[in-house]
Structure 1
């Protein structure tokens, strides 16, 4: 069997009540800088990060229970310095999860798994612009 093509997930869209909190958390804790903004910069409707996250401002959104099959289970995020990211996250009032010290739950219910990357792989991947025209 031949695989006709290769693919990867370019981004994941997540509904959040407080988009500014999430923008600041993902930037200040994980260094995920802006790629694109829909709406005014001080109150965006949507916000895309370098690294594949799309935050969708959804006032009044309540996440279903984490065991509901219709809800995103978690985001796995590669980080260049896991201890530093975990230390920075503590100031944000995130909840630890029983899966391990690298698992955190954000205020809107989103679970993230922070994973230590090897070498310079995070910087290497972020240096690639997959939308750049040849």
Structure 2
């Protein structure tokens, strides 16, 4: 049976305690650059990355120190080179989770799973311009 409507997740919005740390981590470790941001001082301050992550900063927001922070279970992130991303992530005070060395917990509790892409899957996904 075919579905007339196909869909994918365009972005996931995540509340974070330190948005600047998260922007730097997603950019420097995973190569996710900023696509859009609200003006500084706007509440909530928000940043969207190319790659589908929306980071939201609210004054006074405190994340729980464990993965049960209530935000979401984890982010599965497809990477071109998992070993390079894992090596880069180690310099960011992340914690390896019991699920495996490619499961990382960021300092304020957000969990990510780094998944090795095959072929040009990442480049092909990033080439899609759904808002154009």
- TM-score, length-normalised on structure 2? 0.90
- How far does the alpha carbon of each residue in 1:53-99 deviate from its partner, in whole angstroms, 9 at most, with x for none? 0000123323355347x540000000000000000000000111000
Instruction: Tell me what 2:96 maps to.
Output: 96
Matched residues in 1 for 2:27 and 2:85: separation? 11
CA RMSD, Structure 1 to Structure 2 (Å): 1.9
Matched residues in 2 for 1:25 and 1:71: separation? 18
- TM-score, length-normalised on structure 1? 0.88
Instruction: Tell me what 1:72 maps to.
Output: 72
Instruction: Tell me what 2:129 maps to.
Output: 129
Deviation at 1:19? 0.4
Unaligned runs of 5+ in 1: none
Distance 1:28 1:17, change over 3 A: same
2:113 counterpart of 1:113: yes
Q: Following TM superposition, where does structure 1 have runs of at least 4 consecutive aligned residues deviating by more than 4 angstroms?
A: none
Unaligned runs of 5+ in 2: none
2:31 counterpart of 1:26: no
